[in-house]
Amino acid sequence: MFAYIIKRLLWLIPVVIGVSLILFGIMQLVPGNPAAIMLGTNITPEAVAALNEKFGFNEPFYVRYFLMLKNFLTGELDSIYYGDKVINIIGRRMTATIELGSLSLIIAVLIAIPTGVIAAVKKNSLFDLFSMFIATIGISVPAFFTGIIFIYLFSVYFQILPSSGYGGRFWTLSGLRHLILPAFSLSTVMIASTSRLTRSSMLDIMKEDYLVTARSKGVAEKIIILKHAFRNALIPIITNIGNQLAMMFGGAILIESVFAWPGVGRLAVKAVEFRDQPLVFGSILILSMLYVVVNLMVDIIYVFINPRISYK
């Protein structure tokens, strides 16, 4: 197992090289010069030339690539637009993103999995029909729309929660209060898809012969559902949750905009808008590395859920 984890982590090296090459290539192809965009209406040929020199855009591309990669690995990469280390900027934003992503995940799992299991066990009941109807709406309605409705209800109408912004770390009262609405909005889509997946996965499993055997042996229904059926149904659910979590780390750009949440999604968009090449480079690389790590975590969790899976 340990060797497996090491092996998987070693895969990060080709991922970083591959992603950085592709990324750097694309950045060269995208039109737009950061100096020209930064200067805006104050643009003069001299000022553009001075900034190009200052940011090293006059070097040949391979020199710039290696310099950028080296600076990234040593944490020395500087953002053009923010005039700060890329690692500091992303670090600050990542906290906000992780807080938002984690709470939405917890909410989603706590609501979606029980709903899915009950809906499957009581198939075609009123609960099943109603919850799956809500889930279909949840998938179809964009999260930012849900967000605006939530703001209107809880901030404007009832006036019990702040409408937007980051209120500090989640363990402070202000932080938690600011976190609730965006987390619930972000979790809606995840709740919808996870509960539907849980239901269908449970329904598949419940047809299996070993459950019939268990029942005929007189095993309590509660144990059949939770221990035998649910555990086996978990694999696709975990995969789905893992994918969604990785996407959340990439930043929920729409939710971040609606709630003025200072996460990495908005940062990455800003970076591209300003052609802030070091920041684009750094943030996308870090995100792709996170993606690899999350996938690895999902694979490790499989072992605990299903002992038949093992990595040697």
Binding site for other proteins (CB under 8 A): 30-33, 35-47, 50-51, 53-54, 78, 81-84, 89, 92-93, 96, 148, 151-152, 155-156, 159-166, 173, 176-177, 180, 257-260, 262-263, 266-267, 270, 273-275
Query: In this structure, which long-range contacts are made by residues 206-211, counting pairs with CB atoms below 8 Å and at least 24 apart in sequence?
Result: 206/120, 206/121, 208/232
Question: Which residues are bridge partners to 78 per DSSP?
Answer: 85
CA nearest to 194, candidates 154, 248, 156: 248
CB of 38 to other proteins, least distance (A): 7
Q: Toward other proteins, which CB reaches closer, 98 or 219?
A: 98
The tokens describing 151, both together, are 């703001």
CB of 198 to other proteins, least distance (A): 28
CB of 252 to other proteins, least distance (A): 13
Q: Toward other proteins, which CB reaches closer, 75 or 236?
A: 75
CB of 118 to other proteins, least distance (A): 24
CB of 61 to other proteins, least distance (A): 17
Q: Toward other proteins, which CB reaches closer, 52 or 306?
A: 52
Q: Toward other proteins, which CB reaches closer, 15 or 253?
A: 253
Q: Toward other proteins, which CB reaches closer, 62 or 157?
A: 157
Which ranges of 55-141 does DSSP label H, i.e. alpha helix?
61-73, 86-121, 126-140
N- to C-terminal Cα separation, the chain: 6
Question: Which residues are bridge partners to 85 per DSSP?
Answer: 78
User: What does the DSSP assignment read for 114-128?
Assistant: HHHHHHHHTTTSHHH
Q: Toward other proteins, which CB reaches closer, 229 or 252?
A: 252
Residue 98 sits at the vertex; the CA angle it makes with 148 and 7, to the nearest 5 degrees, is 140
CA-only gyration radius of the chain, Å: 24
- Tell me how far apart the alpha carbons of residues 102 and 209 are, in angstroms, rounded to a whole number: 37
| CB-CB neighbours of 98 under 10 Å | 16
Q: Toward other proteins, which CB reaches closer, 262 or 305?
A: 262
CA nearest to 295, candidates 255, 250, 240, 224: 240
Q: Are 79 and 276 in contact (CB under 8 A)?
A: yes
CB of 180 to other proteins, least distance (A): 8
CB of 107 to other proteins, least distance (A): 15
